[in-house]
Amino acid sequence: RTVYVNGDYVPEDQAKISVFDRGFLFADAVYEVTGVLEGKLVDFPAHAARLARSLSELDMPMPMPEADLLAIHRELVTRNGLEEGMIYLQITRGAADRDFVFPKGAEQGVVLFTQSVPGLADAPAARRGIRIVTLPDRRWGRRDIKTVQLLYPSMGKTAAKAQGADDAWMVEDGHVTEGTSNNAYIVKDRTIITRHLGEEILHGITRAAVLRMAEEAQLKVEERPFTVAEAQAADEAFVTSASAFVMPVVEIDGTRIGSGTPGPIATRLREIYLEESRANAI
Ligand code: PLP
């Protein structure tokens, strides 16, 4: 597999990054994950816009114009013959002597790689639905910035798997914030309920697309916090992300949701999302 590191396309086993890179030492880096369907990028402009915002919140510039970033994404898709999966992009503040103060004049690090996930769109998990456990949300307070500090979510997903579940939803002040790497939704009486945007959650690109599609399909949407008990009493639940699209949830903390199988609204939204994403990918 070919990866992109600071201006060069290199075989993955020859890629090098400084041990002084601040992404490595301080998690001083932001990232994006863009879905790939039929060799094309899903919602790239929205990912580029969120990247620019994450960088700006951390006083970092965009390292290159959006068009150049797009060209690198496309070049990697071509070089690796990627049909279905995702592209990971990470931008770090760069390498500098270890110091808590942001260094001046460090050269930003830019890394991209592809990950092939054959059968992503036709995932068996989507037909079965996933099981969720809940955990306290112990992440930092700026979850709207897509930084690479993923240790707590990584612990959470590992703990969920150890308990025989598929993923975890995190709970703060009695309300669900989001999943370890996805946004969380419930459906009650044909109304979709998902937490409002703020600093407590990542502003999912898939979330924005799916809420727009839901409104186009005449479904009601309420953006507000919900409790675990409300979720357990819901008709349906699901999560969204760039690499899982719309994924039905069938169990929360051992309680079956609805019939215990993927709900009709989650299933329909997944179909619509995949259809529109295939049609609009670039
Ligand atoms: N929330 C968190 C914490 C995430 O890590 C992610 C994706 O990685 C999402 C939500 C979903 O965002 P997107 O739809 O842009 O992939």
Domain locations in the chain as residue ranges: 2-116, 124-280
**Residue 205 alpha carbon, nearest atom of ligand 1:** 15
Q: Which CATH superfamily is domain 124-280 in?
A: D-amino Acid Aminotransferase, subunit A, domain 2 (3.20.10.10)
Query: Distance, CA 100 to ligand 1 centroid (Å)?
Result: 27
Pocket of ligand 1 (CB under 6 A): 33, 178, 181-183, 202, 204-207, 240-242
Q: What is the mean pLDDT of residues 226-236?
A: 98
Q: Whose CA is nearest to atom 2 of ligand 1?
A: 181
Active site residues: 146
Q: Which of 44, 90, 183 has most ligand 1 atoms within 8 Å of its beta carbon, as the pocket-test mutant?
A: 183
Q: Whose CA is nearest to atom 9 of ligand 1?
A: 182
Domain 2-116: which topology? Answer: D-amino Acid Aminotransferase; Chain A, domain 1 (3.30.470)
Stated pTM of the model:
0.97
Residue 7's pLDDT band (cuts 50, 70, 90)? very high
Residue 3's pLDDT band (cuts 50, 70, 90)? very high
Amino acid (1-letter code) at residue 260: G
User: How far is CA 74 from each of CA 1, 4, 84, 175, 206, rounded to the nearest angstrom?
Assistant: 14, 11, 13, 40, 20
Q: Which of 147, 181, 238 has most ligand 1 atoms within 8 Å of its beta carbon, as the pocket-test mutant?
A: 181
Residue 173's pLDDT band (cuts 50, 70, 90)? very high
Query: Distance, CA 156 to ligand 1 centroid (Å)?
Result: 15
Query: Distance, CA 104 to ligand 1 centroid (Å)?
Result: 30
Count the Cβ atoms, other than its own, within 10 Å of residue 138. 11
Which residue is associated with the tokens 């719309």? 246
Query: Distance (Å, rounded) from C-alpha 23 to C-alpha 109?
Result: 9
Query: Distance, CA 97 to ligand 1 centroid (Å)?
Result: 32
Which residue is associated with the tokens 């103060």? 101
Q: Whose CA is nearest to atom 8 of ligand 1?
A: 181
**Model-level ipTM above the cut of 0.95:** yes
Q: What pLDDT, in 10s, does the model give residues 117-135?
A: 999 999 999 999 999 999 9
Q: What is the mean pLDDT of residues 42-48?
A: 98
Query: Distance (Å, rounded) from C-alpha 56 to C-alpha 59?
Result: 5
